[in-house]
Structure formats: C-alpha cells, structure tokens
C-alpha cells in the first residue's frame, strides 16, 4: 500500500494543511449569518482580530522563524522602530515604512556579521 | 447587429478590486513574502506546484510556513494539523468582521464562500481601509477581485522564489521573512480609527509575547480574546458614559 511520495505530499496538504485551516473560515461564515454591520458582535470581532494580529506580529519579531533568527533581537526591534518612524514622517506611507524597516534590518545585520 | 450589453456592474467591481490590489503595497509585500516562503519550501524539497497548491488551498502565510517546515522535518501529521489549526484561529474573527461589510439582505450564504476563503491578513487589512468607500452592492465582487489579485501576486512570488532559491543569500531570506511582521504592523497602525482599535493593537503587542514567553498554550488565541475583549469593553464603557 505505498502511494507515490508526490501523491502523499498532496494528500498531506489537504488533510493537515487545508482542513484544519479552512475550518476557521467556515465557522466564521456560520457565526455571522444574520448579523449586520451594526451588530455589536461585529465590532467585538474586529477588536479580537486586531489583537490576534498584534500577537502574531509580536511573536514573529520576538521568536522568529528560519534565517531571521540569526539576526539579533536589538536589530529586529530597531528595524521595527525605524519603519514606524518612516511611516509617520513620510505622509503615513506603508511602503516607506516597510522599505525603511527592511533597509535597517539588512544594513544592521550585515554590519553585525562584519 | 445588437450593441454589446453594458458590462455588468459585478465584473466592473471585480476589476476595480484587481486594480486596487495592484496599487496596494500589500501586493508587493505578498510577492516578497512568498519569495521567502518558497525559498524555505525549496530547501525542504517541495515542488513549485505543491507550494502553489498550498497557497490556493491554505492561503495563510504563517500557516504555510508551519506546514512546510514541520512536514519538511518529518513531524507527525496530527502534530502538524494541530499547529496549523492553532495558528489560523485569527481567520475566525477576520471572517466575522469582514462578511457583514460585504453582504446585502438578499445575499445567499453560498456567495460568501469565496470571499471567506480569500480572507487572509492582507485582504482583511485592505478591505478595512477600502470597503467603506465602495457602494454596498459592489463590495462582494470588489473583495473577490482584491483577494484573487493578491493570490496571483503570491503565485508570482512563488515562481520568482523558486528560481532564486539557490541564489538567495541567507540574509536576504531573513529580510523576506521580516516583511510579514513589519507590513502587518504598519498597515494595522494605519487602519486604527477608534480608540478600541488602538487599545486592541497595543494590548495584543504587550500581552502576546508575555504569554508566548510563559509558554502558555494557545497563546495567540488567548491574547486575541483577552486583549480584544478588553479593548471592546473600554469602548462600550466610554459609549455608556457619554
């Protein structure tokens, strides 16, 4: 009973990737049937979504994946600070903010590595 | 000969969504992010088609990173499914706070399946910013266009990433992985309108790492529920005192 490895990879994608992920979207769809934009639950869901997103952001910066972990924490935090500053200084441009943060990170990391 | 019928308003709205996506910094953020994700997948021996299929089916960057890195090191399927499921809990409040903006009284639930599937951080953030200015009857098609174009941007990043994977120095992949938190943080900051939004963001940033550091299980979920509910409670209290 040995399937090809290629087929196994796609089956795994469906079972351990798609299904456990999609269940949240379907639950959300079911939960809001009959609700409108004036519902208090809608406002509460926005607050929870924003807080969850904030937690995800903080977790990636403080406990980073892959090669990002090799960049010291101080450089990661400094890059975030420069990004926010550029965003505020350059007409609240997200593009400017992301660019400044990336430049700080890459510059900082290459100087640190020597 | 009959004159061509005027374009239906829903296809026009879909195209407006595609156009808005191309003008959004999120499209470029997605290209960069998926270059990083694909470089990771390439290192673990996944094919480009598998990564694209995972983007279409999963459509959540952090979940895909977990899926690729844990399958790549041969983790037990049940463990992988659990990790993916926990990381994606944020999709629930996002779908709940997006769909009511898209729906009209007569919209059948099946028409909400596609925008629910296309809901991801990038699409949710841009919908919060752009949808209030879009007429309600056009919002559903607009959001579908926006989400579909964002997915196309991710595929573009995957193709680029797959061919660059062996050439990218580790420092640059680190830079690609950094795009996600930075762009999420700055765009969420831009979208904060009410005091409630600011509170939810600040509390989430403060409480999230604390719970993760204390190794509390389901840290993201508890942070979201706790910090989000607290922010909402303060909002209600202020409204009541007015």
pLDDT surpassing 90 at residue A39? no
Nearby residues of A11 by Cβ (< 8 Å), 6 or more positions away: A3
Q: Cβ of A34 under 8 Å from any chain B Cβ?
A: no
Mark yes or no for CB contact B174/A71 under 8 Å. Answer: yes
Query: Is residue A59 a contact partner of residue A74, using CB atoms and an 8 Å limit?
Result: no
Mark yes or no for CB contact A51/B224 under 8 Å. Answer: yes
CA-based nearest residue to B70, from B59, B54, B56, B90? B54
B153 with B98, same domain?
Answer: yes
Q: How far apart are CA B125 and CA B54, in angstroms?
A: 22
Residues of chain B with pLDDT under 50: 1
> Is residue B163 in some structural domain?
yes
Q: How far apart are CA B208 and CA A34, in angstroms?
A: 32
| Residue B207 belongs to domain spanning | 194-242
B122 with B179, same domain?
Answer: yes
CA-based nearest residue to B66, from A27, A62, A16? A16
Residue of A nearest to B184 (CA): A57
Residue of A nearest to B191 (CA): A50
A78: chain B residues, CB-CB within 8 Å: none
> Is residue B3 in some structural domain?
no
B182 with B198, same domain?
Answer: no
Half-sphere exposure of residue B195: CA atoms within 13 angstroms, side-chain side: 10
pTM of the complete model: 0.86
B137 with B224, same domain?
Answer: no
B27 with B51, same domain?
Answer: yes
> Is residue B4 in some structural domain?
no
Q: How far apart are CA B104 and CA B110, in angstroms?
A: 13
Per-residue pLDDT tens digits for A65-102: 778 889 999 999 999 999 999 999 999 999 999 999 99
Q: Cβ of A94 under 8 Å from any chain B Cβ?
A: yes
B25 with B52, same domain?
Answer: yes
The whole-chain average pLDDT of chain B stands at 90
Domain count, chain B: 2
Supply φ then ψ for residue B17, to 5 degrees.
-65, -40
A14: chain B residues, CB-CB within 8 Å: 57
pLDDT recorded at residue B4: 54
B136 with B226, same domain?
Answer: no
User: Predicted confidence band at A1 (pLDDT cuts at 50, 70, 90)?
Assistant: very low
Q: Cβ of A77 under 8 Å from any chain B Cβ?
A: no
B115 with B223, same domain?
Answer: no
pLDDT recorded at residue B192: 92
Residue of A nearest to B177 (CA): A68
User: How far A51 CA lies from chain B's nearest CA (Å)?
Assistant: 4
B173 with B160, same domain?
Answer: yes
Max Cα-Cα span within chain B: 73
Average pLDDT over residues A26-45: 86
The interface predicted TM-score (ipTM) is 0.87
B54 with B89, same domain?
Answer: yes
Quick one: what percent of chain A has pLDDT higher than 70? Answer: 97
Mark yes or no for CB contact B57/A17 under 8 Å. Answer: yes
> Is residue B1 in some structural domain?
no
The label of the residue with tokens 């680029």 reads B160
B150 with B213, same domain?
Answer: no
A36: chain B residues, CB-CB within 8 Å: 100, 103
B123 with B217, same domain?
Answer: no
Domain termination site, one of B173, B191, B209: B191
pLDDT recorded at residue A7: 87
Q: Cβ of A89 under 8 Å from any chain B Cβ?
A: no
The label of the residue with tokens 């509910």 reads B229
Q: Cβ of A107 under 8 Å from any chain B Cβ?
A: no
Q: How far apart are CA B91 and CA B112, in angstroms?
A: 15
């Amino acid at each position: 009973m040995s399937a090809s490895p290629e087929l196994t990879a796609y089956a795994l994608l469906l079972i351990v990737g798609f299904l456990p992920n999609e269940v949240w979207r379907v639950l959300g769809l079911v939960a809001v049937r009959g609700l409108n934009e004036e519902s208090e639950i809608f406002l509460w869901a926005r607050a929870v979504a924003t807080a969850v997103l904030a937690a995800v952001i903080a977790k990636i910066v403080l406990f980073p994946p892959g090669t990002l972990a090799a960049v010291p924490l101080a450089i990661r935090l400094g890059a975030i600070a420069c990004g926010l500053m550029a965003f505020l200084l350059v007409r609240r441009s997200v593009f400017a903010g992301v660019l400044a943060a990336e430049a700080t990170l890459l510059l900082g990391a290459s100087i640190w590595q020597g | 000969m009959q004159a061509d019928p005027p374009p239906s308003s829903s296809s026009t709205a879909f195209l407006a969504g595609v156009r808005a996506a191309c003008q959004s910094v999120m499209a470029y953020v997605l290209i960069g992010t998926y270059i990083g994700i694909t470089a990771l997948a390439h290192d673990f021996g996944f094919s480009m088609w598998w990564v694209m299929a995972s983007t279409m089916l999963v459509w959540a960057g952090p979940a895909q990173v977990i899926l690729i890195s844990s399958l790549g090191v041969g983790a037990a399927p049940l463990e992988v499914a659990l990790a993916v499921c926990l990381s994606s809990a944020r999709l629930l409040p996002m779908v709940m706070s997006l769909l009511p903006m898209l729906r009209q009284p007569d919209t059948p639930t099946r028409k909400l399946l596609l925008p629910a599937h296309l809901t991801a951080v990038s699409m949710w953030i841009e919908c919060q910013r752009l949808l209030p200015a879009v007429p309600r009857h056009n919002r559903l098609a607009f959001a579908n266009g926006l989400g579909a174009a964002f997915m196309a941007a991710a595929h573009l990043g995957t193709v680029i990433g797959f061919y660059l994977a062996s050439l990218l120095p580790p420092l640059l992949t680190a830079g690609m992985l950094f795009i996600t938190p930075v762009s999420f943080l700055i765009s969420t900051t831009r979208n904060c309108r009410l005091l409630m939004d600011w509170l939810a963001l600040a509390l989430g940033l403060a409480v999230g790492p604390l719970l993760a550091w204390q190794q509390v299980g389901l840290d993201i979920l508890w942070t979201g529920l706790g910090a989000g509910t607290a922010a909402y409670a303060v909002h209600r209290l202020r409204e009541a005192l007015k």
